[in-house]
Structure 1
Amino acid sequence: MDFQTNYITPDIKLACYSDKPFKAEALFDDHMLIWIIAGGAKIIQADEMYAFQAGDIFLIPRNQLSSVIIYPKDGQPHKSVAMHLPERRLRKFYEGITPAAPTVVSHKIRYFEQHPLLKSCFASLIPYFEVEEKFPENIASLKIQEAISILRVIDPGIDGILANFDEPGKIDLPGFMEKNYMFNMPMQKFSYLTGRSLSTFNRDFKKHYHVTPQRWLTQKRLELAHYQIREKRRKPVEVYLEVGFEDLSHFSLAFKKQFGYPPTNLVNHSARS
């Protein structure tokens, strides 16, 4: 796997990847502003799937479960610049600023297409990745402030995300799990996002579902894969990453154990239909 990441500061990085599609489950502690330079990316969240290509710029809000799949495209390796917008920088930015009046806040990904102001901000970073000199912290702060300022100009609702420093509160556990079971995250992350300690999460989960979280998650992911292959006529190689498995062979073994036949049987059945 040819995956290279070059940091000019802990908050600004350039990623290059030239192998087969690579998937990672993510729960970002910071908002992430990303510019795809080349290649492609697919991001799957509870309610939606997003596909991005070269030139696209988007913001992933913090504390949102996501499956991130990156891949080469059109003969070009995946290449992207990511800028963290951490709480410490946002609090400093909003000192003395009155955020816009709050509206209904959506935590879905914000898509900015190829907005020229954001593109210019990102493009100005590229030379810093090509020199060995240390990137000065004051310039990093200015670049991140520039990005935040641009976001506030082009997206009137962005303050509802960037100026919101609340931590997740206790929420309905079954409702959350039914929407997010396809994300292959540690149980500690699931418990955090539902506003519970790990022990309380496990206790509440078993009280409602009468099985362990891991057993329930595996079953739900396999049921989703079965539906995608049989009803949507997709191939196992197309769905195993999206439903929460990391390895195709492990997925096939688990599928056969659950349903009594391998997923290829469904593919052959669909082909005959």
Structure 2
Amino acid sequence: MKPVIQLFGESFLYSCSFAQTHAYEQFVPEHVLAYQISGQTQIYHQQQEMILEEGQILLARKNQFAKSIKIPAGEKAYQCVSVLLTKYQLQQFALDNVISCEERYQGRKNILLGPDTMLKDYFLSILSYIEPGKSVSRKLASVKVDEAILLLLAIRPDLKSFLFDFSDPYKQDLEEFMLKNFHHNAPIKHFAKLSGRSLTGFKRDFAEIFNTSPGIWLKNKRLSEAYYLIKKKSRNPRDIYLDLGFENLSHFYTSFKRKYGHTPAEIKLQNK
């Protein structure tokens, strides 16, 4: 059975799979509140790993790169439901409830929330909205998102700056930023945003530091890392191409051979 990923309106996302699946979306543009119904989600972010187990709830901050692997639990399917806390919805909530936030958020980007009956009951209440053939009106979705925000503030008042800091990311050291994040498969505009630059400023600074374009540098960096892992670490090409930002194995093999004159499999055989 094929994996099911359904977006209901602009607020609810439901994912179901009976086989281990890599998630290809690697840029998180909005805050996400997620409940793991069954199975587990392995999340890789900021060169760290966290696991969302069955029954756990995750609050993930916007504007970050992240990779995930969806893993079923035995005979049970992988199931996860998420609420998208968009900037627009949070700004509207802040206006309606006279909330201002001068503090810039400095904490963790991904927070596992402690066991909470109210939050779990909340997620159970929205599961009925994600049945096939049902639609969620914009007004109803807005009410349910507001309910999620109210619950978060009631349970964790300290999350105020997490939710209502609307400032742009800090400008970062570009060389350090790219060396940490080159393996993420994302459009250049997302690299620019997370580095704290406009797209124009990002391309200008990038050319000054690396003497090439972002697209060319990313491709060469990923390929050189692949060569190192296969040649020096004896890694299997099939096990690394997704982690290095390649969308499919065929594209990886073609690009690798064009650069090195041999396929990844041929390089691996040289080690034997």
TM-score class, shorter-chain normalisation, is 0.7 to 0.9
Q: TM-score, normalised by structure 1?
A: 0.82
Identity of aligned residues (%): 31
The answer to whether the Cα contact below 8 Å between 1:43 and 1:49 also exists between their aligned partners in 2 is yes
Q: 1:236 to 1:154 in 2, by over 3 A?
A: farther
- Give the total of aligned pairs: 270
Distance 1:199 1:131 in 2: 43
Distance 1:256 1:176 in 2: 28
Distance 1:86 1:262 in 2: 44
User: Runs (4+) of structure 1 moved beyond 6 Å?
Assistant: none
Q: 1:211 to 1:9 in 2, by over 3 A?
A: closer
Distance 2:253 2:73 in 1: 27
The answer to whether the Cα contact below 8 Å between 2:105 and 2:165 also exists between their aligned partners in 1 is no
Distance 1:53 1:248 in 2: 29
**Superposition pairs for residues 35-184 of structure 1, below 5 Å?**
35-94=35-94, 95-97=97-99, 102=103, 105-112=106-113, 115-130=116-131, 132=133, 134-184=135-185
Distance 2:120 2:54 in 1: 12
Distance 1:44 1:258 in 2: 28
| Structure 1: stretches of 5+ with no match in the other structure | none
Q: 1:97 to 1:22 in 2, by over 3 A?
A: same
Distance 2:134 2:21 in 1: 33
Query: 105-114 or 127-136: which moved more?
Result: 127-136
Q: TM-score, normalised by structure 2?
A: 0.82
Q: Give the secondary structure class of the aligned counterpart of 1:88.
A: helix
Q: 1:234 to 1:132 in 2, by over 3 A?
A: same
Letter matched to residue 21 of structure 1: T
| Structure 2: stretches of 5+ with no match in the other structure | none
Tell me by how many angstroms 1:47 deviates: 2.6
Distance 2:216 2:77 in 1: 37
Distance 2:28 2:145 in 1: 17
List per-residue Cα deviations over 1:155-196 (Å, max 9, x = no partner): 454222101011235432222212211111111222233333
List per-residue Cα deviations over 1:122-150 (Å, max 9, x = no partner): 11111222375543545433332232233
Tell me by how many angstroms 1:103 deviates: 7.8
Distance 1:118 1:233 in 2: 45
Q: 1:37 to 1:198 in 2, by over 3 A?
A: same
The answer to whether the Cα contact below 8 Å between 2:46 and 2:65 also exists between their aligned partners in 1 is yes
Q: 1:118 to 1:235 in 2, by over 3 A?
A: farther
**Superposition pairs for residues 239-250 of structure 1, below 5 Å?**
239-250=240-251
Distance 1:60 1:236 in 2: 31
The answer to whether the Cα contact below 8 Å between 1:102 and 1:159 also exists between their aligned partners in 2 is no
The answer to whether the Cα contact below 8 Å between 2:105 and 2:162 also exists between their aligned partners in 1 is no
Letter matched to residue 96 of structure 1: V
